[in-house]
Structure 1
Amino acid sequence: MKFAVLFSGQGAQKAGMGLDLLADSLFAETIDEASSASGQNIVADFKSENDELKKTVHVQPALVSFEAGIYRMLMRDLPELNIAGMVGLSLGEYGAMFASSALSLKETISLVSDRAKYMQIYADRVASGMAALIKPNWSKVKAILSKLQEDGEQVYLSNFNSPKQVVIGGEKNAVAAAVKEINDQVAAKRALLLRVNGAFHTPLFNEASKKMHDRLANVDFAKNKIMVISNTTAKPFDGNWKEIMEKQLAVPTHFCACLQYLIDHEHIDATLEIGPGKTLSSFAHQIDRDLESYRIGNLKEYQEFVEAIHETEK
């Protein structure tokens, strides 16, 4: 099998994630390193006993640390795994950044921790939200958003996830108005408000993007050893990490086009989702039903995946 590795983004997190994986010494070591790099107690974030995983500043370093720990385990146990390319959804690009060797773990977690702080600042300044549109009617949705924008409302397309799902984001009242219009006009099969604390990948995060520009100025990226497809350009990163990761905060993501790139150019036939849940596996199935899908979100799923690969090698 030829794999695309998919790294989950913000929203996949859940209380208790990663705790069973701490039984693996390499995973535990990774979380210790990440805690030092972030200045946070990542294990406490995993437990979320004080709702840490409801706050961007905790979620982002915790989720990337989780993904990094699992990837390190995979490289120890399955060093010959045939990985053709990687795609991370939004925050998940930082998981791919580390896994592809573009940055060390320490540098990746330090960078994503600062990114989370910038995003938390601007998420707290304006009441904002996002909504998922299931099976959208493109012409109707675009007309609705254009009319609202003409009326001075800040609501935008923010995520192109699959042929059956896109996400809009913006000021809270504007998103609510858009959802009402979309439902009233049957511009999508369903329009559902999401439980997020910011309208990520919209112009509401332009100022956070500027802060990332300054933060990235002195970061030295290595050439990634595995192809990573950018959410922003839907093309492989090619020495342009700084430019793209600055823009990434305030422009739409294109997960659908990213995975399609790997299907068309690298001829992948399987996906491996690393992260809690199965959202990206679901998107992948909507993009190409012939893809075989695997996911790792806990120790049991990790062990099952390793066993499955060993079986195919016999």
Structure 2
Amino acid sequence: MYYGILFSGQGAQRSGMGVELMADSLFSRIVSWASDVCELDLLKIMKNEHNELNKTVYVQPAIVTVSYGIYQMLKRDLPQLPIKGMVGLSLGEYAALIASNSLSFEEGIKLVADRARFMQQDADREISTLAAVLDPQLQEIKELITAQQENGQRVYIANYNSPRQIVVGGALTDLKATLKKMEEDKLAKRTILLKVNGAFHTPFFNGARQQMHNRLQTVDFHEPQIEVISNTTNSLFHCEDLQGILEKQLAIPTHFGANVKELVKHAKIDTTLEIGPGKTLSRFAHQVDQQLNTQHIENLADYETFIKEQKDGTDR
């Protein structure tokens, strides 16, 4: 069994994510370390008692810390786990790059905190959002969006998640008009406005992209020790191209579905292990390749079950 690790992105967060994992001393130390580095109370944010997870500036360092903490627990308890490659959805790329030792955890979490701050500034500047489009007629939707743009509507495709889901984003009124047109023309089974505070991976985040351009010049990247596939290029990250790709990633579409195909074709994985809150990436992976065995770890019960299966040799 060969694993591709999938790291959760923004939108997967839930109240209480990672809190029960604080019972593990290694996980707890990582959360405390990240809190000190970011100057944030990440445990408080994870508990979400005051809707902190609704804010990009808080949720991004929290998700990366939870995902990285789980990954480090796995490396401690299953050092021989056969990992052949990694993919993260948008924000999840940072967890993947830290896990692959392309940058240190301290430098990585500082970078994530700054990225979140830059994106929050763009999100606060103008109201924009995203919508999932299920079972899309892709070519017809591309033509519709092009026509809407020619009419002055600011709408864009933001994510190509799987054959059965894309995400579109834009100014709220423009996006709603486009979704209505999709429904009228029967271009999708369903559209769902997402609970995010910005049209990520669209030109609405060109301001954050420019700030990241400057910030990334200060980062000391290393060649990933485990292969990580870029959402932006669908190619392996290499040390020399990380700065340019991570800058562009903020304002152009992601291609998670193509990334999973690449893991299967070239890394020869047969199993995905989603790390972090939610099961969304596992669902996308199965939509891409129904032969894949999909597993996930988001809480202590999931973790203990996975470890037991591995050690007992009963992994399905």
* Both proteins in one fold, TM over 0.5: yes
For 1:139 and 1:98, locate their aligned partners in 2 and report how far apart those are by CA, in whole Å: 36
Q: Which amino acid aligns with 1:5?
A: I
Q: Which runs of 4 or more aligned residues in structure 1 lie more than 6 Å from their structure 2 counterparts after TM superposition?
A: none
Q: Which residue of 2 aligns with 1:15?
A: 15
Q: Which residue of 2 aligns with 1:37?
A: 37
Q: Which residue of 2 aligns with 1:120?
A: 120
What is the CA distance between 1:307 and its match in structure 2? 1.1
For 2:188 and 2:278, locate their aligned partners in 1 and report how far apart those are by CA, in whole Å: 25
Q: Which residue of 1 aligns with 2:238?
A: 238
Q: Which residue of 2 aligns with 1:152?
A: 152
Percent of aligned pairs with the same residue?
50
For 1:197 and 1:129, locate their aligned partners in 2 and report how far apart those are by CA, in whole Å: 6
Q: Which residue of 1 aligns with 2:274?
A: 273
- Look up the SS of the partner of 2:229 in the other structure: coil
For 1:96 and 1:263, locate their aligned partners in 2 and report how far apart those are by CA, in whole Å: 17
Q: Which residue of 2 aligns with 1:249?
A: 250
- Look up the SS of the partner of 1:136 in the other structure: coil
- Look up the SS of the partner of 1:169 in the other structure: strand
For 2:279 and 2:109, locate their aligned partners in 1 and report how far apart those are by CA, in whole Å: 24
- Look up the SS of the partner of 2:135 in the other structure: strand
- Look up the SS of the partner of 1:30 in the other structure: helix
- Look up the SS of the partner of 2:209 in the other structure: helix
Return 5+ residue gaps in structure 1 as ranges: none
1:35-68 Cα offsets, whole Å, 9 max, x none, are: 0111100000001111100000000000000011
Q: Which residue of 2 aligns with 1:70?
A: 70
1:215 has 2:225 as partner: no
For 2:138 and 2:232, locate their aligned partners in 1 and report how far apart those are by CA, in whole Å: 20
1:258 has 2:259 as partner: yes
Q: Which amino acid aligns with 1:40?
A: L
How high is the TM-score relative to the length of structure 1?
0.98
How high is the TM-score relative to the length of structure 2?
0.98
For 2:77 and 2:19, locate their aligned partners in 1 and report how far apart those are by CA, in whole Å: 20
For 1:265 and 1:194, locate their aligned partners in 2 and report how far apart those are by CA, in whole Å: 33
For 1:47 and 1:139, locate their aligned partners in 2 and report how far apart those are by CA, in whole Å: 42
1:5-37 Cα offsets, whole Å, 9 max, x none, are: 000000000111111000000000000110011
1:89 has 2:94 as partner: no
1:102 has 2:102 as partner: yes
- Look up the SS of the partner of 2:200 in the other structure: coil
Return 5+ residue gaps in structure 2 as ranges: none
1:244-294 Cα offsets, whole Å, 9 max, x none, are: 111110010000111100101111000000011100000001011111111
What is the CA distance between 1:313 and its match in structure 2? 7.8
For 1:208 and 1:266, locate their aligned partners in 2 and report how far apart those are by CA, in whole Å: 32
- Look up the SS of the partner of 1:188 in the other structure: coil
Q: Which residue of 2 aligns with 1:286?
A: 287
- Look up the SS of the partner of 1:103 in the other structure: coil
Count matched residues: 314
- Look up the SS of the partner of 2:80 in the other structure: coil
